[in-house]
Amino acid sequence: MIRGTICIAPLAALLASVVGPSDLSAQGRIFAEFERSKPKVGAIAPDFTLETLEGTPFTLSEAYATRPVVIEFGSFT
């Protein structure tokens, strides 16, 4: 093994011993379900109600009726 590189064969053997075939099958089913259920590009967002940081309810359909809404998923630190 050359210093500073990753040897793939031992890593693959280790993963195969930790993650069995049944685990991979379950992960595949979970991924397939996600693919079927995720929103499609251009689809209308489902309506939801959340509580704001001030404690007031925010409902998507009510906000969108009066102004455009941008939903940002991320973290600003």
User: Does the residue 76 lie in any domain?
Assistant: no
CA 4 – CA 34 distance, rounded (Å):
37
Query: What confidence tens digit (pLDDT) does each residue in 56-69 have?
Result: 999 999 999 999 98
What is the pLDDT, as a whole number, of residue 1? 47
CB atoms inside a 10 Å sphere around CB 7:
9
User: Does the residue 73 lie in any domain?
Assistant: no
Query: Where in the sequence is the domain holding 12, given as residue range(s)?
Result: 8-66
User: Does the residue 38 lie in any domain?
Assistant: yes
What is the pLDDT, as a whole number, of residue 40? 81
Contact by Cβ (8 Å): 49, 57: yes
CA 69 – CA 58 distance, rounded (Å):
11
User: Does the residue 71 lie in any domain?
Assistant: no
Query: What confidence tens digit (pLDDT) does each residue in 6-43 have?
Result: 455 565 555 556 555 566 677 888 888 888 888 788 88
User: Does the residue 74 lie in any domain?
Assistant: no
User: Does the residue 46 lie in any domain?
Assistant: yes
User: Does the residue 77 lie in any domain?
Assistant: no
Total domain count for the chain? Answer: 1
CA 37 – CA 17 distance, rounded (Å):
31
